[in-house]
Structure 1
């Protein structure tokens, strides 16, 4: 309302030299604006539509992390979610766990502002003891409200300038017959100037051949060369780049263990980003792969992930979470692995995963982490290696059918070659991957042997 009045004042000022008149008009505008902010919920529905919509449209957040006024909390994104009885909206958030107070949900409806409804705060059980944790705030839309945006308030009194989140996923309660993508990969989160360009490009191209149509990358601070590569892939449409400036609001941890790494929030908000990615993909992708960029979920008895899941899903119709075991592929320079060397890539930052063709046996006495391929509609909350809340069943895929190829950067144990197992599965894609990677590096302006030969 204030912005509406001020724009009117500027228009009137063009045709009036009466300063007293203009000042009086400004004062009247401010008084009306303050009065509107304090109209009780019961009567707010009778406000003229243009006034209520003006309040909604004036402060729509365009950020991925939005501070919640008068709290220590942050909103990330809001989604329609009617899978849990009694609720319509789920707001993915980051909450200070020791500072949770009663909250209320306020909706911007098509033709009015809603009454407030009480919010239910659900802090995820997996927070690794950090002060801040991934949190869901559940809201119910009031009767007769065609909601478009939502915000949270720590009390029933209106905030002067609430930040509104647009509502996404208007069809999460429906059965989908088609999806824009069969597979989406969620990568969270790039930080610390991560710049393993060659591995990133190779992994993206292999996933493309496996049937992945979209890779969502939560980017905090990638290196300069990687940023150029991501920009090229974003323009092409394979990568959906989500800026993730968590360091502007909190002191994010560089690891998952509070006692070792310190900080406010685990691993630059990894858990928050994974959950956000699942909901971001719920209407668009049949499956979502939750793994790191140094991991490839690789089928061994099928040409691609589509044929793998077309086989598994009918056998396990109520399964929404498919668990996949990881095998470690350490760096091992041998005559055989050097056949994966590509001279044109020698100046590109990062390492060549085509040379990672040996995997090592696991120690059965240790816990071995796995990752997941999920149907997002079956998932309510997830952690990194397991789902916290789901609506369906889980199934562990046999290793001989599919496993994760984990090309580690650092490895504490150096094992002799005779203790490793040769695996050249990546080479089945080599002839198609090499030209594609070389072309994407060229588009990103990164060095190649051809360019160096011309110098």
Structure 2
């Protein structure tokens, strides 16, 4: 199943403001697939440069739709060390099926005076930027696509072990012209690991670690069952 979502940018009214000049403005670079903020209600996956309608950074994340009401993007401009803060628009996707957490676009206007390569996300426009995790802004430099046709499949979880089905699927994707299959892997069986490794070495499969159950109580159901879980279907 393939889901396509077209998100239209709305005009952002909060222009970035300088809050700090000079000095060191980088914190610790975040390298995890999922990075929690200190509120434990916001989880950052990855920021992207988006200039389709205006010069913005679009951050893909997971947010508690009731508790998180405001977030700020902290942009560091190099080499002058100025830090710009921009209030974010928080767009929690509507298809969260009753769960308190959902996939979210956190969208911020970028400063006009520079093209920042990294950004931090914080609940406040005030604080110490050196204490915040820093995320690389993807897509900053326009590059050609490495492949023409990629397939992303649902999260692999539950000690997945249907090796035959997986091999049949990947081989069919290849027949249909897919050059890359991306797997968000939570966990799988030892035998499945061997199959994945074969396709990784072949160059067909790319694996993205997906340890979402280290941060949230996940459900294997797509709809909320009032059972204390936070997000559906392992964060699909």
Other-structure match for 1:204: 170
Q: CA RMSD in A?
A: 2.0
Q: Are residue 255 (structure 1) and residue 221 (structure 2) matched?
A: yes
CA change 1:42–1:166 in 2 (3 A) is: closer
Aligned residues: 218
Decide which of 59, 65, 69 is 1:97's aligned counterpart: 65
Quote the Cα distance in structure 2 between the aligned partners of 1:43 and 1:114: 6
Quote the Cα distance in structure 2 between the aligned partners of 1:215 and 1:166: 24
CA change 1:201–1:113 in 2 (3 A) is: farther
CA deviation profile, 1:202-235 (whole Å, cap 9, x unmatched): 2212211221100110000111111121122112
**TM-score, normalised on structure 1?**
0.45
Is the 8 Å Cα contact of residues 191 and 219 (structure 1) preserved in structure 2?
yes
CA change 1:84–1:134 in 2 (3 A) is: farther
CA change 1:139–1:265 in 2 (3 A) is: same
What does 1:44-123 correspond to in 2, within 5 Å? 44-45=20-21, 47-48=22-23, 51-52=24-25, 55-56=26-27, 59-85=28-54, 87-111=55-79, 112-123=81-92
Quote the Cα distance in structure 2 between the aligned partners of 1:60 and 1:257: 35
Other-structure match for 1:166: 136
Q: CA deviation at 1:258?
A: 1.1
Other-structure match for 1:321: none
Other-structure match for 2:103: 134
Other-structure match for 1:278: none
Q: CA deviation at 1:262?
A: 5.8
Quote the Cα distance in structure 2 between the aligned partners of 1:117 and 1:89: 10
Quote the Cα distance in structure 2 between the aligned partners of 1:261 and 1:204: 35
Structure whose alpha-carbon radius of gyration is higher:
1
Quote the Cα distance in structure 2 between the aligned partners of 1:248 and 1:186: 22
Decide which of 205, 211, 214 is 1:245's aligned counterpart: 211
**Structure showing the higher strand proportion among its residues:** 2
Quote the Cα distance in structure 2 between the aligned partners of 1:89 and 1:188: 26
CA change 1:82–1:199 in 2 (3 A) is: same
Q: CA deviation at 1:143?
A: 2.3
Is the 8 Å Cα contact of residues 18 and 85 (structure 2) preserved in structure 1?
no
Please list every run of at least 4 consecutive aligned residues from structure 1 whose deviation after the TM superposition is greater than 2 angstroms: 41-45, 259-262
CA change 1:42–1:133 in 2 (3 A) is: closer
**TM-score, normalised on structure 2?**
0.85
Give the structure, 1 or 2, with the largest relative contact order (CA under 8 Å, sep 6 or more): 2
Quote the Cα distance in structure 2 between the aligned partners of 1:205 and 1:261: 38
Is the 8 Å Cα contact of residues 114 and 142 (structure 1) preserved in structure 2?
no
Q: CA deviation at 1:126?
A: 1.0
Quote the Cα distance in structure 2 between the aligned partners of 1:257 and 1:96: 16
1:90 alignment partner, SS class: strand
Unaligned runs of 5+ in 1: 1-40, 271-455
Unaligned runs of 5+ in 2: 1-16
Quote the Cα distance in structure 2 between the aligned partners of 1:67 and 1:244: 13
CA change 1:222–1:84 in 2 (3 A) is: farther
Other-structure match for 1:125: 94
2:155 alignment partner, SS class: strand
CA change 1:71–1:193 in 2 (3 A) is: closer
